[in-house]
């Protein structure tokens, strides 16, 4: 796999550029699932046809797991809509402000990608490829105050993740807080502990929280797990590695700490930008 960055999303002040970039990133985020789930409408001028160009994007539609998400560009203005569909028939629809639509769209893209792959971890890769910060982006740990940033994590996810997951988050935060003062100024060991606190743990939580809540709690992926169950398993692996890092820090065993850091890098680095 190679690292692939999303096309930077322009602001709403550039609606044509925004919808164009979103169409590209959505297809990349969805991967093979895009063929069935994503529709892109284009306006092809005569010049476009003669030159073999695809034309300009005027609308995109995603058949999500929880809603059909549509974004249209009309008269230089973007309008977002979410529709509830049953048996192929729209039973309810609502207009949404662009910011809210983008966040809901991000969650639906992540869910469709995870469902198609049968792997909840794919949600994080899809979000990274899409380039839209989900509403759950408030779950973060500031690198300038790692210990202080870990303190409120349990409260930030309480009621939003399964209780077993929240308890594991608390234990991970405690292990990392105990390791931090022992690795300060040690170079790579400090980097490993800090990355776990500011990157792997928050991104694992954000990817889950971006998913439609009912779908994440109850939908069974092809491997038999719900995304909620997959989250608990991911956090359990993270907790085990964090505990080993804390023990290695206490024993001043830099080699053991780095081994666990490499384990986390191999397992959780793909949740960022490791895309096909």
Secondary structure string (H, E, C) spanning 68-120: EEEEEEECCEEEEEEEEEECCEEEEEEEECHHHHHHHHHHHHHHHHHHHHCCC
Q: Which residues pair with 61 in a beta bridge?
A: 39, 70
pTM of the shown model: 0.81
What pLDDT does 259 receive? 81
Contacts of 206 (CB under 8 A, 6+ apart): 124, 127, 134, 136, 137, 139, 140
Q: Are 95 and 81 in contact (CB under 8 A)?
A: yes
To 10 degrees, the CA torsion angle through 157, 158, 163, 169? 50
CA angle 65, 227, 118 (to 5 degrees): 70
Task: Provide, rounded to the nearest whole percent, the portion of the chain with pLDDT above 90.
Answer: 62
Q: Report pLDDT digits (tens) over 238-262.
A: 999 999 889 888 888 778 788 877 8
Length of the chain: 276
Q: Which of 24, 221, 16 is nearest to 129 (CA)?
A: 24
Mean pLDDT, rounded, of the chain: 88
The answer, yes or no, to whether residue 108 has pLDDT greater than 60, is yes
Mean pLDDT of 157-179: 94
Q: Report pLDDT digits (tens) over 176-211.
A: 999 999 888 888 888 889 999 999 999 899 889 999
Q: Which of 77, 45, 47, 46 is nearest to 59 (CA)?
A: 77
pLDDT confidence of 136, banded at 50, 70, 90?
A: low
Contacts of 65 (CB under 8 A, 6+ apart): 108, 111, 112, 115, 212, 215, 219
The answer, yes or no, to whether residue 152 has pLDDT greater than 60, is yes
Q: Report pLDDT digits (tens) over 28-44.
A: 999 999 999 999 999 99
Alpha-carbon distances of 207 from 138, 165, 228, 241, rounded to whole Å: 12, 14, 11, 20
CA angle 64, 140, 177 (to 5 degrees): 135
User: How far apart are the C-alpha atoms of 119 and 174, rounded to whole Å?
Assistant: 28
Q: Report pLDDT digits (tens) over 37-93.
A: 999 999 999 999 999 999 999 999 999 999 999 999 999 999 999 999 888 889 999
Q: Which burial class, exposed, middle or buried, applies to 55 when counting CB atoms under 10 A from its CB (0-12, 13-18, 19+)?
A: middle
The answer, yes or no, to whether residue 5 has pLDDT greater than 70, is no
Q: Are 133 and 126 in contact (CB under 8 A)?
A: no
């Amino acid at each position: 796999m190679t690292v692939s960055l999303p096309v930077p999303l322009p602001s709403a002040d550039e609606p044509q550029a925004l919808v164009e970039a979103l169409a590209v990133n959505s297809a990349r985020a969805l991967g093979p699932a895009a063929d069935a789930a994503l529709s892109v409408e284009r306006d092809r001028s005569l010049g476009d046809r003669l030159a073999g160009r695809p034309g300009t994007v005027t609308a995109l539609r995603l058949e999500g797991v929880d809603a059909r998400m549509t974004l249209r560009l009309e008269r230089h203005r973007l309008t977002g809509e979410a529709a509830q569909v049953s048996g192929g028939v729209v039973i309810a629809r609502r207009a949404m402000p662009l910011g809210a639509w983008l966040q809901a769209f991000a969650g639906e893209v992540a869910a469709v990608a995870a469902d198609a792959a049968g792997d909840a971890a794919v949600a994080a890769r899809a979000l990274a490829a899409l380039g839209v910060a989900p509403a759950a982006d408030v779950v973060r740990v500031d690198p300038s105050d790692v210990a202080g940033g870990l303190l409120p994590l349990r409260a930030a996810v309480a009621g939003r993740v399964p209780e077993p997951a929240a308890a594991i988050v608390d234990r991970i935060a405690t292990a990392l807080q105990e390791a931090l003062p022992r690795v300060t100024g040690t170079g790579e060991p400090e980097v490993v502990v800090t990355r776990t606190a500011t990157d792997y743990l928050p991104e694992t939580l954000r990817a889950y929280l971006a998913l439609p809540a009912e779908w994440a709690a109850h939908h069974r992926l092809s491997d038999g797990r719900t995304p909620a169950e997959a989250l608990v398993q991911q956090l359990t692996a993270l907790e085990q590695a964090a505990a080993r890092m804390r023990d290695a820090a206490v024993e001043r065993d830099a080699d053991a700490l780095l081994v666990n850091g490499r384990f986390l890098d191999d397992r959780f680095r793909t949740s960022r930008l490791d895309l096909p």
